[in-house]
Structure 1
Amino acid sequence: MGKSLVEKIWDAHVVKTIDGGPSVLYIDRHFIHEVTSPQAFAGLRKRGLPVFRPKQIVATADHNVPTILQHLPIKEELSRQQVDKLVSNCKEFGIELYGLGHPYQGIVHVIGPELGVTQPGMTIVCGDSHTSTHGAFGTIAFGIGTSEVEMVMATQCVLQSKPKLMRINVDGELNPGVLSKDIILYIISKLSASGATGYFVEYAGSTIRGLTMEARMTICNMSIEMGARGGLIAPDEVTFKYLEGREFSPKGKDWDAAVAKWKELYSDQDAKFDSEINIKAEDIQPMITYGTNPGMGIGVDQSIPAEQEITEKEKAGFLKSLQYMGLQAGQPIKGQKVDYVFIGSCTNSRIEDLRLVAGFVRGKKKASNVEVWVVPGSKQVEKAAQEEGIDKIFEEAGFQLRQPGCSACLGMNEDKIPAGKYCISTSNRNFEGRQGPNARTLLASPLTAALAAITGKVEDVREYFN
């Protein structure tokens, strides 16, 4: 019987399988940041252990960094302590750090691909749930806890149970104004925030193959939001073209050998999946969330479900979510006012996202009642935006182009949405308090967010294209 892509990569990295238990899985790349690494380093220090293979670790500061005045000391004490601790830990254990001021600094799931550190066929882990982003390159990539971060530092391996397999096929042509963010929000709305629990998801189909690498990363990034362990896409010519010539990609004969190997990374025709789902691209419209988990999503021209449409089991959570959001069952989402727009995060902060937004808002002005933050995912994205004049377009539109970091994706740094305010966000989570205490988050694509920045409310971007 043939193998799936996940099985091919998994089997090539199993060191040992424990009878009736998990496998010891070898890890090719380990990304670390300032939030989930301090305890792991402390554990090594307590046990007198070195980092086993420091050259296979990539470190950066992203979650707690400010996105303005990065050359000054960090104001928030806890954030400053965590970033400082990362600096000292990396120095002590011999790990290269792309910290503040470094030309490669940025969000961990943005810099790995853009530097060519992320490559097909790898196993990749990080103490961050959105590590699944790297699966866009045909990798097994998943988030791990702090104790597992220590385990990988000490052994370059992690204990992991083999996941179930799901394939989601998306075929057909997308409607104008529909982006990869809409694809994944649509999928999650159909499966729910727990519908892929226990699975590793392979995304396939003509629609997926037609996407750019940056668009594929957006889809894989949010696999965790439907409960999946991770998500991946088979590498192809789009992947190879993206990686060629990047800083840490193979060069010369090594490149030719790598591509030949990468071309074997696909699911065989007779591979078996535990679950298979088929989606028509033409059924997907610009999406937006209305609740407090990413599965609570609807098309922008639809209404929030009526109370009678919700099962008794889900009703209490549904009503609690709407109360937090200040919205009503059955209410149309179109026309809902917006106070903030956040374009950034490891989901949508790449140069392709910024180019798309800039092209849309060129010559326009933001609504007077909206504050707009555009936060590039890395110093390289920031540099490209400046070289291409995107920064000037944003400035003229009244958008604030900030410096790289996780920013308002999560209420862990200085970029917080005030209580009670509505924020259309291109990030990946809309949990209660995710963007700040009592902040209200509506997840959407960069185009839908850009339109809201101009109009001050939720609107249908398809009307612009038509």
Structure 2
Amino acid sequence: MRPMTMFEKIWKDHVVDHEEGKPTLLYIDLHLVHEVTSPQAFEGLRIAGRGVRRPDLTFATMDHNVPTKDRFNIEDPIAKQQIDALCHNCKEFDVPLADLSSSEQGIVHIIGPELGLTQPGKTIVCGDSHTSTHGAFGALAFGIGTSEVEHVLATQCLQQAKPKTLNIKINGHLPIGTTAKDLMLYIISKHGTSVGAGYVIEFTGDIIRRMSMEERMTVCNMSIEAGARAGLIAPDEITFRYLEGRRYAPAGEEWTKAVENWRKIVSDPEAVYDRTVEINAGEVAPQVTWGTTPSMGMDITQAVPNPDDFSTPTERQAAQRALEYMKLTPGTPMTEIKIDRVFIGSCTNGRIEDLREAARVVKGYKIANHVDALIVPGSQSVKKQAEKEGLDKIFMEAGFDWRESGCSMCLGMNSDVLLNGERCASTSNRNFEGRMGRNSKTHLLSPAMTAAAAIKGHFTDVREWKFQ
């Protein structure tokens, strides 16, 4: 048998049916559900007189619409309707639900790993593009649309065209002051938001092997911003240590058998990828975006670019439009750009390691007088752990607003939105026009860089930070 990549092994193990020239029918091991993309899917089941095929392989939570200031006071009527519908649907169809009163509630891509639902070798889907996060565990995980949500609920299967394989090989060491978030923003700024189009990316190399699970989740989360269908990282001892003992992880003899199987899904040494891109981690500096896609980013030491410096008419036009929207002048040093708001959280950087990183910068300081800043833990578990470590006190003493768990400002679908024209330093994954509110101006950074910007009131190089 020819050598196979990890993606090819997982794909092969889940094929239910395939005809040449047609999409493959795949079996789905885990279906994660939230309140925004599921109401129509459940209603479709109800109209057709169908049930949920495998409630035991389905898990729901509330995250997108949850108010983080007072989670039980949902003022938006549409948000309340969606959350109420999820409660009703999960009860009717016997789907496990982490509701607003649950200690397991949180952002779907954070609680899946926390609970041990996310495991190597699984196929995982969710009606959310950043389902790729779960690929950090060696799972083939990708986002699906509402009609596909209904199909998986009804059949536990899904038709998919087989993507190609891309190996992004990252070697070396990340310099001090740079993080997994900086690494991904760097890759996307250098290679564009379409580098992964049509591919499943497997991230390999020395730097990946040394990363914690939380760093790996950030990498795979951002693979979607590189245009990929999914991101993958091979499971190893770091993966197994993270999963062991979690609620839904195998235990006892089943754990031993599971680990033996998980070790086998890694790419064979002689496996051939359709494409390989090599990255030198030593070239990465702290990043900040200046435009309206994650690819419009640069080192913190650089200045806002001039559209005339781009090589093609399309690129020049895109840069001009982005600068007009962002109200930025070419040549302005990134460190001179003032901000109005700060958001630390999201499925990209709302985990405990992210909050520790931000707290280390914030400790002993106060946020700038003109800045409003939010800290939003990605789950109730993260919130509890942060409070146990006293991180909440560090943030509140500095002037941050300590919130409940949820997606919050990342997508402007709840009460946490920017006012018209406000500029925000954010740890989220997207900076599209209007994503955080009308005429909102979003800049993407790492938790440390975002925390430093909150203190200074403008972007600053965290490598020069004086820690208290």
Alignment pair present for 1:327 and 2:322: no
Alignment pair present for 1:369 and 2:370: yes
- Cα deviation, residue 451, structure 1: 0.4
Determine the C-alpha separation between the residues in 2 that align with 1:335 and 1:259: 50
Q: Return the letter of the residue paired with 1:146.
A: T
The aligned runs of 1:94-113 (5 Å cut-off) are 94-113=94-113
Aligned to 2:253: 253
Q: Return the letter of the residue paired with 1:385.
A: A
Q: Return the letter of the residue paired with 1:313.
A: T
Aligned to 1:244: 244
Q: Deviations over 1:304-324 (max 9, x none)?
A: 222222121222221111111
Residue 73 of structure 1 contacts residue 80 of structure 1 at CA under 8 Å; is this kept in 2?
no
Q: Return the letter of the residue paired with 2:381.
A: Q
Q: Return the letter of the residue paired with 2:116.
A: G
Aligned to 2:442: 441
Residue 307 of structure 2 contacts residue 317 of structure 2 at CA under 8 Å; is this kept in 1?
no
How many residue pairs get aligned? The number is 465
| Cα distance, 1:252–1:465 mapped onto 2, change above 3 Å | farther
* Partner-residue secondary structure (3-state), 2:4: coil
Aligned to 1:39: 40
Alignment pair present for 1:19 and 2:20: yes
Determine the C-alpha separation between the residues in 2 that align with 1:321 and 1:359: 33
TM-score (norm. length: structure 2): 0.98
- Cα deviation, residue 332, structure 1: 2.0
Residue 307 of structure 1 contacts residue 330 of structure 1 at CA under 8 Å; is this kept in 2?
no
Determine the C-alpha separation between the residues in 2 that align with 1:244 and 1:323: 50
* Partner-residue secondary structure (3-state), 1:81: helix
Alignment pair present for 1:78 and 2:101: no
Q: Deviations over 1:29-55 (max 9, x none)?
A: 000000000010011111100000011
The aligned runs of 1:142-157 (5 Å cut-off) are 142-157=142-157
* Partner-residue secondary structure (3-state), 1:411: coil
Determine the C-alpha separation between the residues in 2 that align with 1:48 and 1:193: 41
Aligned to 1:314: 315
Aligned to 1:451: 452
Q: Return the letter of the residue paired with 1:62.
A: D
Q: Deviations over 1:368-387 (max 9, x none)?
A: 11111000000000111111
Q: Deviations over 1:81-129 (max 9, x none)?
A: 1000000011111101101010000000000001111000000000000
Q: Return the letter of the residue paired with 2:303.
A: S
Determine the C-alpha separation between the residues in 2 that align with 1:411 and 1:44: 29
- Cα deviation, residue 297, structure 1: 0.8
Aligned to 1:159: 159
Deviates more, 1:331-340 or 1:305-314: 305-314
Determine the C-alpha separation between the residues in 2 that align with 1:410 and 1:256: 40
* Partner-residue secondary structure (3-state), 2:331: coil
Determine the C-alpha separation between the residues in 1 that align with 2:453 and 2:106: 26
Determine the C-alpha separation between the residues in 2 that align with 1:350 and 1:198: 29
Q: Return the letter of the residue paired with 2:181.
A: K
Which consecutive residues of structure 1, in runs of 5 or more, have no partner in the other structure?
none
- Cα deviation, residue 187, structure 1: 0.7
Which consecutive residues of structure 2, in runs of 5 or more, have no partner in the other structure?
none
Aligned to 1:57: 58
- Cα deviation, residue 465, structure 1: 6.8
Alignment pair present for 1:189 and 2:189: yes
Aligned to 1:460: 461
Q: Which runs of 4+ in 1 moved over 4 A?
A: none
Determine the C-alpha separation between the residues in 2 that align with 1:221 and 1:307: 29
Aligned to 1:343: 344
Determine the C-alpha separation between the residues in 1 that align with 2:209 and 2:339: 34
- Cα deviation, residue 268, structure 1: 1.0
Determine the C-alpha separation between the residues in 2 that align with 1:313 and 1:35: 34
Aligned to 1:213: 213
* Partner-residue secondary structure (3-state), 2:404: coil
Q: Return the letter of the residue paired with 1:435.
A: M
Q: Deviations over 1:406-429 (max 9, x none)?
A: 000011100001111110000000
Determine the C-alpha separation between the residues in 2 that align with 1:351 and 1:125: 24
- Cα deviation, residue 273, structure 1: 1.0
Aligned to 1:134: 134
Determine the C-alpha separation between the residues in 1 that align with 2:53 and 2:466: 54
Residue 151 of structure 2 contacts residue 158 of structure 2 at CA under 8 Å; is this kept in 1?
yes
Determine the C-alpha separation between the residues in 1 that align with 2:215 and 2:466: 20
